[in-house]
Chains A and B, each alone.
Chain A
């Protein structure tokens, strides 16, 4: 049974099953698949690789900055760069995306300054960027809740005749939540122009996918909701881009929602506060390193003549520079204004909040300088 094979392969961390759509083999060899068309030639696809290089570098910097105390905690997306970059670059400017806390690289790829993207983890703001300017909802920490926001957004777009579409990021663990079911069901009922992008990275903190779902093929759920679904190689950025692009086009043309399951692997701990040695063998990672999303893309682009050592060096240098800028910005950050903690609870402060603000101001004024 294919299903059993998939379970065993995922549990063992080995190669995914054959029913997973791939446009770029781990070797870097380009494939064609009638079920998944990619309109990017190698030259145009180079920006996907660049965004992954920058994303991976910033992700590594964020882990380091957590060790240095500049961030309180951080959820790495190492190994999932193809899922962070492909869907975001498939969006049109007017579209909105609804990320989770693991989408820092996706948020940066959309154009948000890394300092603003990491405010959540620094503890300086729950959301450091302007959601309206970035067209990104504040990253959701309660699992799967953001999927309903994406569906509601898409329902509103459709009802008002807008061609804007919504992209919801979910993890495999999120598919166990009731909100994931309600989001898929609402989207199916109302034909909402919404794309559900599920990163099946094999783990929800310490719980593996086979303890998360009776059928580990999460794309199989689409049929239950009347939603077209596909299962793609989540470490193939051409596949993540092409699948999302096609789903968005269908959404915009009135074709309704799409469920995309991207099979990938969480190479890091759940967060910097987690210790994966308690629940998984490090050897599992070796198989997935062979499927690295950056390496295969670099190989493809080099073979296509788009990439050479000089360009690799210049993109790497740019990524290093962005990581250095992030580090400097956090280290040089101005002190917080404590009274800001009262801002924006309501559209205008209530009498109670005004009194409490005055109380803190008074306490601060009486503190030793």
Chain B
């Protein structure tokens, strides 16, 4: 349990460069989970010798051996399907689907089996599988590398869906996901992989199903998750100049959803803005807006405002600056809410 973590030993990372990056926190969480429980196995495309295209699995194969961390053939349905079989045997697989846009070939295994096997077997089969998916845009990549598929998974009963926005949450939520007896889709905001936080790992435990108030405010609540939390926080900071006190809630667990924290915040402020990178129609923000409407209708001063990606396919990289919700767009929505 106390085995050293490779990244912490590296002179190029750690507190020397000002904290821990989100990718490093995930790496440490995987290493600590593998050290704590020999049933934890990590595999996916390029996760072994290469350490993953984002280096989240860096050093794991070397430290734990190729029986515990290994490269799979290039086949996402195969990765998830075999993880289901491994979980039936009694292992706790943590698999990586290399990019959001490549999670779709595994969709049948995720929806038809991974999500349902506990229910189908009347509780006799645990499926403690974690599917890690780097997701979202903002890294200038080619098509199929910048998508936000969260609602497909959040809409599927039997899955838990979480997405961290900070290194300390990345560590804690991944440990919680690996310990969870239910399957967890773990969405990693890839443009935040390199953002650093001054935190000592292991960070305090976080329960799946809990939201976090990142910044307290009186006038407006901004609900965000994953890559848009820093966007919301930036908007909140700019709002100070307008004389608006903005509360930012990091939803972080999309399923189950912490309705209590969200409704309580909406009742406190009376105005709500939801932010997501995904397109608007039937997006996760629509669910958040409905939860706020059901739970805080009598407290609201304005209709819930949605700040989302446009309802287009994810655009070519040179367009993404116009596509992705930024702090200005969030601030505009705050202004609309405040004008009511």
A interface vs B, CB < 8 Å?
96, 98, 125-127, 130-132, 137-138, 140, 142, 145, 147-157, 159-160, 162, 164, 166, 178-179, 182-183, 185-186, 189, 343-347, 350-352
Stretch of B73-81, B143-151, B222-230 lying at the A interface? B73-81
Given A156-B90, A185-B78, A350-B209, answer yes or no on A126-B85 (Cβ-Cβ < 8 Å): no
For window 40-92 of chain B, which residues contact chain A by CB distance below 8 Å? Answer: 41, 67, 72-73, 75, 77-78, 80-91
Let me know if B196 is at the binding interface, CB within 8 A.
no
Residue in B closest to A150 when the chains form the complex, CB atoms: B85
Stretch from B11-19, B115-123, B165-173, B323-331 that touches the partner:
B115-123
Taking the complex as formed, is B158 at the interface, i.e. its CB lies under 8 A from any CB of chain A?
Answer: yes
Given contacts A130-B121, A151-B81, list 4 more A-B pairs with CB under 8 A.
A152-B85, A183-B78, A185-B78, A186-B75
CB-contact partner of A186 in B73, B93, B123, B126, under 8 A: B73
Q: CB-nearest residue of chain A relative to B120?
A: A126
Cross-chain contact B81 with A344 (CB below 8 angstroms): no
Q: What 0/1 readout, one digit per residue, does chain B (126-142) give for beta carbons within 8 Å of chain A?
A: 10000000000000000
B85→A138 contact, CB < 8 A: no
Question: Which residues from chain B contact A178 at a C-beta distance below 8 Å?
Answer: 77, 105
Task: Compute how far the CA of A162 lies from the CA of B112 in the bound complex, rounded to whole angstroms.
Answer: 28
Q: Complex formed: what's the CA distance from A233 to B170 in Å?
A: 55
Q: Are B121 and A138 in contact (CB under 8 A)?
A: yes
Contact B120 A160 (CB under 8 A): no
* Alpha-carbon separation in the docked complex, A178 to B93 (Å): 22
Chain B residues with CB under 8 A of A96 = 88
Contact of A182 among B77, B90, B123 (CB under 8 A): B77
- Residue B160 lies at the interface, judged by CB distance under 8 Å to chain A: yes
Kindly report which residue of chain A lies nearest to residue B291, judged by CB atoms: A352
Contact (Cβ within 8 A) B91 A345? no
**Residues in B neighbouring A154, C-beta threshold 8 A:** 85
Task: Tell whether A182 pairs with B81 under 8 Å between CB atoms, given A132-B124, A145-B113, A149-B113.
Answer: yes
A340 to chain B, nearest CB (A): 9
Query: In whole angstroms, how far apart are the Cα atoms of A326 and B259 in the complex?
Result: 47
B125 pairs with A132, CB closer than 8 A: yes
Docked Cα-Cα span, A131 to B83, in Å, equals: 17
